[in-house]
């Protein structure tokens, strides 16, 4: 008993939001201590890591043949087990340097639609990366906890968490998910839709990072008061020359219309399948939007218009999930019912 307490003093409990686009780490003492892109750059000849995170993201679309920049997470789950393990280990080491006496306990949030095989892959990756104990929590539940919703009460709360790879729609009551749907359409799908649209309409090829910048700068779900535009540089399909064009917010709205409507329809479907008592609660309390996709201009208004609900965007939607996961680390006994393993 004394030994375990002594070791606990030197251990570092972590919360991890292992996302398709970004990985965030939280510690009870330091809060959010890491927020980096989920990207890894490898030497193709030796399979050794060259860069991880922010530095590796700059390599996307710019690498010579001997370097491969990849996203080991796809649609919220592990697509490349070995590379994910390396990435987790790199991030964990970065955060717990100097605290290597005892392996950390980690709580990781995962999509609601995750399979048993995918769960095992996440747990094994974390164990092989150096964790001594791994607990999993569903992303919308973590988002609800992070936003301070009364998840343990007999009241329906609706959460829509739009990440890079998945959109999680969930109705939560009594510390459990009453209804959940995970659609593998989110921020990355919007980026790809922008790339396709600019290729089809303007005969210009653009990279993934450029598409993301366009989405953040002028992307919207509904027309705003003023027309927004930006200059976009890419490669002309016809002759291969570098070309710069000007695109407007209306172009990008048209480009991302389909993925946006998939998200809206998943919310409507969730309402249809939720018991009437919980829907009445949601009508009173509103719907919480979290994740990076919540920042798409006008998306909250579009969902409100389509569902007749009051839509609230969390104060810091990019970190809602990891903050909620962090709360479960800080008070494991109180939140023990919400772990799914």
User: In this structure, are residues 247 and 256 in contact, taking their beta carbons and an 8 Å threshold?
Assistant: no
Which pLDDT belongs to residue 100?
56
Are residues 123 and 7 part of one domain? yes
Q: What is the DSSP string of 47-92?
A: --EEEETHHHHTTTT---TTEEEE-SEETTEES-HHHHHHHHHHHH
Are residues 136 and 67 part of one domain? yes
Q: What's phi and psi for 273, nearest 5 deg?
A: -95, 0
Are residues 289 and 181 part of one domain? yes
Indicate the pLDDT class of residue 2, thresholds 50, 70 and 90. Answer: very low
How far is 181 from 202, CA to CA, in rounded Å?
36
- Specify the number of domains making up the chain: 3
Are residues 265 and 192 part of one domain? no
Are residues 309 and 195 part of one domain? no
Q: What sign results for the dihedral spanned by CA atoms 228, 208, 325, 144? A: positive
Average pLDDT for residues 305-315, to the nearest whole number? 94
Last residue of a domain, one of 206, 230, 255: 255
Are residues 191 and 181 part of one domain? no
Average pLDDT for residues 179-205, to the nearest whole number? 94
How far is 89 from 110, CA to CA, in rounded Å?
18
What's the CATH number where 215 sits? 3.90.640.10
Are residues 314 and 171 part of one domain? yes
Q: What is the pTM of this model?
A: 0.87
User: In this structure, are residues 168 and 110 in contact, taking their beta carbons and an 8 Å threshold?
Assistant: no
Last residue of a domain, one of 209, 233, 255: 255
Do the bridges between strand 157-162 and strand 287-290 make them parallel or antiparallel, or are there none, so unpaired? parallel
User: 175 or 312: whose pLDDT is higher?
Assistant: 312
Are residues 179 and 86 part of one domain? no
Q: What is the domain range of residue 63? A: 2-141+321-338
Are residues 10 and 136 part of one domain? yes
Local structure of 107: helix, strand or coil: strand
How far is 188 from 21, CA to CA, in rounded Å?
8
Indicate the pLDDT class of residue 7, thresholds 50, 70 and 90. Answer: very low
Which pLDDT belongs to residue 101?
58
């Amino acid at each position: 008993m004394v030994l375990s307490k002594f070791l606990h003093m030197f251990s570092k409990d972590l919360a991890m939001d292992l996302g398709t686009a970004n990985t965030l780490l939280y510690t009870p003492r330091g809060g959010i201590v890491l927020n980096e892109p989920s990207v890894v750059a490898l030497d193709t000849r030796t399979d050794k890591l060259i860069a991880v995170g922010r530095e590796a993201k700059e390599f996307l679309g710019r690498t010579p043949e001997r370097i491969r920049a990849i996203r080991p997470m796809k649609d919220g789950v592990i697509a490349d087990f070995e590379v994910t393990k390396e990435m987790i280990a790199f991030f964990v080491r970065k955060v717990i340097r100097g605290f290597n006496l005892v392996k950390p306990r980690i709580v990781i949030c995962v999509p609601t639609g995750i399979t048993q095989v995918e769960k095992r892959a996440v747990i094994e990756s974390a164990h092989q990366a150096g964790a001594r104990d791994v607990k999993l929590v569903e992303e919308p539940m973590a988002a609800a906890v992070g936003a301070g919703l009364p998840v343990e009460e007999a009241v329906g709360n609706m959460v829509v968490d739009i990440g890079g790879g998945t959109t999680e729609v969930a109705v939560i009551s009594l510390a459990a998910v009453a209804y959940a749907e995970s659609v593998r359409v989110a921020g990355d799908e919007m980026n790809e839709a922008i790339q396709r649209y600019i290729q089809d309409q303007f005969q210009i090829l653009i990279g993934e990072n450029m598409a993301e910048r366009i989405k953040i700068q002028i992307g919207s779900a509904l027309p705003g008061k003023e027309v927004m535009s930006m200059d976009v540089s890419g490669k002309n399909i016809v002759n291969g020359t570098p070309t710069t064009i000007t695109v407007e917010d209306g172009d990008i709205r048209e480009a991302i219309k389909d993925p946006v409507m998939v998200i809206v329809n998943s919310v409507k479907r969730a309402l249809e399948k939720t018991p009437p008592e919980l829907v009445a609660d949601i009508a009173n309390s509103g719907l919480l939007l979290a994740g990076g996709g919540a920042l798409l201009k006008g998306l909250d208004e579009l969902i409100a218009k389509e569902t007749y609900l009051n839509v609230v965007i969390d104060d810091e939607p990019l970190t809602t999930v990891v903050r909620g996961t962090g709360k479960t680390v800080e008070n494991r006994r109180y939140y023990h019912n919400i772990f799914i393993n």
